[in-house]
Amino acid sequence: MDQVNYRLPKRKDGQKTFDHILETAKKLFSKNGYQATSINEIINKAGIATGTFYLYFDDKFALYSYLLAKYRKSIRKAISEGIHDAHTRYEKERLGLRSFLKFAWQDPLAYRIIWESMFADKELFKEYYQTFSHDYVRQLNLAVGHGEVRDDVDLETLSYMLMGISNFVGLQVLFRDTLTDLDLDRITDNVMKVLKTGMFNEK
């Protein structure tokens, strides 16, 4: 991830092609998996010239890691917009979880792409969750300092617990046939009941 292996388009029509390549690759990756998808398939399905692909990406891995970075950003954006009005860690967890579940419901392909990254590149997968955990620990640490979160639990373990809860309750949501805003509230509230007594200090 240290070297730049992609080139962003400079003009509007280039942007359109670039986005179209990403969208095509996303569908193929999530349908057949990263390993089983070839550059040729992406090129054929997108209906572009071979040279056009290499104009933007060094190789399949470059495209994939760009996509993963993009999802990481959009998940974070969805969460940070969701928690915009929250002032306590508790409210941040609640609104953050709700935004994450909504994102998973609205973009199940993104969900699959991230899960599959374990197979695309083990280090990329590890780096993704370790960075997430690292940032989480920093936030939790502040909340411990404010007396909001209990101070007798290892925060790294707590961060993995919280990521696991979001991701698997995300599966519960994805396995459903329908999801209303009310369902989303109900599921979020159930999780928060357990977290309230589990990780937060009594007020």
Does 130 engage in binding with its own copies (CB under 8 A)? yes
Does 8 engage in binding with its own copies (CB under 8 A)? no
Please select the residue that binds its own copies; options are 175, 177, 180, 182, rule is CB under 8 A.
175
Q: Which is nearer to its own copies, 107 or 156 (CB)?
A: 156
In sequence order, what DSSP letters do the residues of 116-143 get, joined into one string? HHHHH-HHHHHHHHHHHHHHHHHHHHHH
- Shortest separation between residue 57's beta carbon and its own copies, angstroms: 19
Residues touching its own copies, count (CB under 8 A): 43
CA 68 – CA 127 distance, rounded (Å): 12
**DSSP label of 107:** -
Site track for its own copies across 28-67, x = CB under 8 A: ----xxxxx-------------------------------
The owner of tokens 């357990």 is 194
Stretch that binds its own copies, among 11-19, 71-79, 83-91, 126-134 (CB under 8 A): 126-134
Beta-carbon contacts of 21 under 8 Å, excluding residues fewer than 6 positions away, are 42, 46, 48, 52, 53, 56, 57, 63
- Shortest separation between residue 186's beta carbon and its own copies, angstroms: 8
- Shortest separation between residue 199's beta carbon and its own copies, angstroms: 6
CA 115 – CA 109 distance, rounded (Å): 10
Pick the closest to residue 194 from 154, 145, 161 (CA basis).
161
- Shortest separation between residue 68's beta carbon and its own copies, angstroms: 15
Does 118 engage in binding with its own copies (CB under 8 A)? yes
Type of residue at 93: E
Q: What is the CA radius of gyration of the chain?
A: 19
Evaluated on CA atoms 60, 65, 66, 70, the torsion sign reads positive
Does 68 engage in binding with its own copies (CB under 8 A)? no
Does 187 engage in binding with its own copies (CB under 8 A)? yes
Give the residues lining the site for its own copies (CB under 8 A).
Answer: 32-36, 112, 115-116, 118-119, 126, 129-130, 133, 150, 152-154, 156-158, 160-161, 163-169, 171-172, 175, 186-187, 190-191, 193-195, 197-199
